[in-house]
Amino acid sequence: MTQNLPEIPDTLVNVDVIGYSNFLVNTGATGTKFLKEIRDNKKIMGIKCPSCGKVYVPPRLHCPTCFARMSEWVKLSGKGSLTSYTVVRYEEPYLPKQPPFAYGIIQMDSADTGMAHFLGEVDLDKIKIGMRLEPVFKEEREGSILDIDYFKPSS
């Protein structure tokens, strides 16, 4: 097949276009309770499915397995285990922290799900899957998942 392609000039014109505005995120009644417990009481709460008994952290309104509405809150110790992690060593403008830094998935004791967060007060070369962790809360808390500063190794 022969295509009549336009002649490509040496320099092509590209135009910067203004992007979108910021977004608000509604955490809803369930997410709000979770965040307020962190902000006001430094407590991490789970929510339990009335049908299958699984405990979700962070919480959600419906059980992903049963589509049952959940409303039973479970107090957790805050301690948990690292199920997987990565150490970020490259730089990009959108990264939340100056590299190198580590984040991982933490499974809270008594919970069935994993929660993403940063790892801190830890030698980045000595992080191990399965290591025990506990949360470190920020002094100034505003109702955000980042009110937990990071998780550190727990004795």
Interacting residues toward another protein by CB under 8 A: 15, 17-31, 60-68
Taking the least distance from each CB to another protein, the nearer of 19 and 130 is 19
Q: Minimal distance in Å, beta carbon 4 to another protein? A: 22
Q: Which of 40, 83, 34 is nearest to 59 (CA)?
A: 34
Taking the least distance from each CB to another protein, the nearer of 77 and 144 is 144
Q: What are phi and psi of 46, to 5 degrees?
A: -115, 165
Strands (DSSP E) contained in 4-153 are 45-48, 55-56, 72-75, 80-88, 101-108, 114-119, 132-137, 148-153
Q: Minimal distance in Å, beta carbon 115 to another protein? A: 14
Q: Minimal distance in Å, beta carbon 154 to another protein? A: 29
Count of residues for the chain?
Answer: 155
CB-side neighbour CA atoms (13 Å) of 97:
15
Q: Minimal distance in Å, beta carbon 61 to another protein? A: 5
Taking the least distance from each CB to another protein, the nearer of 64 and 99 is 64
Q: Which of 73, 38, 63 is nearest to 113 (CA)?
A: 63
Taking the least distance from each CB to another protein, the nearer of 56 and 103 is 56
